[in-house]
Amino acid sequence: MSLLRSKSSATALALALSQQTDKEEPDLKHLSDDVITNRIFNFTTDEEMMKIDLDNYVVFIENVLKASDQICVASHWAQGSKGNFVLAEDTMNYPSSPIDPPICTLHQISSEMACKPPGVETVHKTTLDILSKLTRYPWEAKAMLIFAAFMTNYGVLWHLDNHSHSDPLAKSLAMIKRVGLLRKELESVKYGQVFFNQNSMIYNCLKAVKYIIEFKSLSKYDTKDVPELSAALRRIPLVSYWIIHILVASSIELHCYLSGVEGQTQKYLNEMTEKVSTLVLTLENHMQFIREQQEEVELYRWLVDQTDHFPTDVTLFLAKLINGKHKARPLINCSTQLEEHIEEFMKEKKLILIVSRSLNFSREDLEILQSIYKEVKKENKFEMVWIPVISDPPNDGDEEAYEALKSEMKWFVVPFATKIAGVRFLEERWELREDLLLVVLDTQSKVEFSNAIHLTRVWEKEAIPLSYDRVKVLMKKNWIDSTVLKFTDQPRLKSLVVINQERNVIFYGGHNPRWVKNFEESAEAMKRDPVTREEGITFELVPVGRNNKGEHDPAVMFNFWMAQRSYFILKHQLHGSTASEDISRMISYETEKGWAIITKGPTVVFIGGGDLILKAIDEFQIWKKNLRQVGFSGSFKDYFDELTASSLHCTHVNIIGFSGWIPLIITCPVCRRYMGSGIRFTCCHGGPDVL
**What is the model's pLDDT at position 47?**
67
Omega within 30 of 0 (cis) for the link into 98: no
Given a contact cutoff of 8 angstroms between Cβ atoms, the answer to whether 601 and 612 are in contact is no
Q: How do residues 179-222 score in pLDDT, each as one tens digit?
A: 878 778 877 888 888 887 888 999 999 999 999 999 999 988 88
Given a contact cutoff of 8 angstroms between Cβ atoms, the answer to whether 145 and 50 are in contact is no
The helix (H) or strand (E) run that includes residue 363 is helix 363-376
Q: Give the three-state DSSP class for 570.
A: helix
**What is the model's pLDDT at position 616?**
95
Beta bridge partners of 594: 510
Distance CA 254, CA 72 (A): 14
The helix (H) or strand (E) run that includes residue 569 is helix 554-575
- Edge-first strand order for the sheet with 680-683 is 651-654, 680-683, 676-677
Among 565, 573, 605, CA closest to 589: 565
Distance CA 689, CA 489 (A): 38
Neighbours of 24 (CB within 10 A): 6
CA dihedral 436, 440, 443, 447 (to 10 degrees): -110
Among 21, 243, 256, 257, CA closest to 118: 256
Distance CA 261, CA 302 (A): 62
Omega within 30 of 0 (cis) for the link into 394: no
**What is the model's pLDDT at position 376?**
94
Among 87, 364, 402, 112, CA closest to 252: 112
- The phi and psi torsions of 98 (rounded to 5 degrees) equal -60, 145
**What is the model's pLDDT at position 347?**
87
Considering all CA atoms of the chain, what is the largest pairwise distance in Å, rounded to the nearest integer?
A: 132
Q: DSSP of 78-145, one letter per residue?
A: HTT-SS-PPPPGGG----SS-----HHHHHHHHHHHSS---SHHHHHHHHHHHHHT-TTS-HHHHHHH
Distance CA 668, CA 252 (A): 76
Q: How do residues 325-369 score in pLDDT, each as one tens digit?
A: 988 899 999 999 999 999 999 988 999 999 998 898 889 999 999
Q: DSSP of 656-668, one letter per residue?
A: -S--S---S--B-
The count of residues in the chain is 691
The helix (H) or strand (E) run that includes residue 157 is helix 139-163
**What is the model's pLDDT at position 166?**
76
Q: DSSP of 258-327, one letter per residue?
A: HHTS--S-HHHHHHHHHHHHHHHHHHHHHHHHHHHHHHHHHHHHHHHHHHHTS---HHHHHHHHHHSSSS
In this prediction, the residues of the chain whose per-residue pLDDT falls under 70 are 1-26, 45-48, 75-92, 95-96, 490-501, 576-580, 648-649, 651, 655-665, 668-670, 672-691
Among 312, 221, 435, CA closest to 320: 312
**What is the model's pLDDT at position 17?**
41
Output the CA angle 451-453-454, nearest 5 degrees: 95
Given a contact cutoff of 8 angstroms between Cβ atoms, the answer to whether 324 and 330 are in contact is no
Distance CA 425, CA 296 (A): 9
Domains of the chain, by residue range, sit at: 7-17+57-77+97-295, 314-466, 479-683
* CATH domain 314-466 topology: Glutaredoxin (3.40.30)
> What pairing do the DSSP bridges indicate for beta strands 350-356 and 382-388?
parallel
Q: How far is CA 592 from CA 352, 544, 595, 675, in A?
A: 37, 15, 7, 19
What does the buried/exposed string (b/e) look like for 422-454 if buried means 16 or more CB atoms within 10 Å of the residue's CB? bbbbbeebbebbebbbbbbbebebbbbbbbbbb
CA dihedral 402, 405, 406, 410 (to 10 degrees): -160
Q: DSSP of 382-418, one letter per residue?
A: EEEEEEE---SSPPTTHHHHHHHHHTT--SEE--TT-
Distance CA 534, CA 521 (A): 20
Q: How far is CA 203 from CA 56, 239, 274, 477, in A?
A: 17, 15, 13, 74
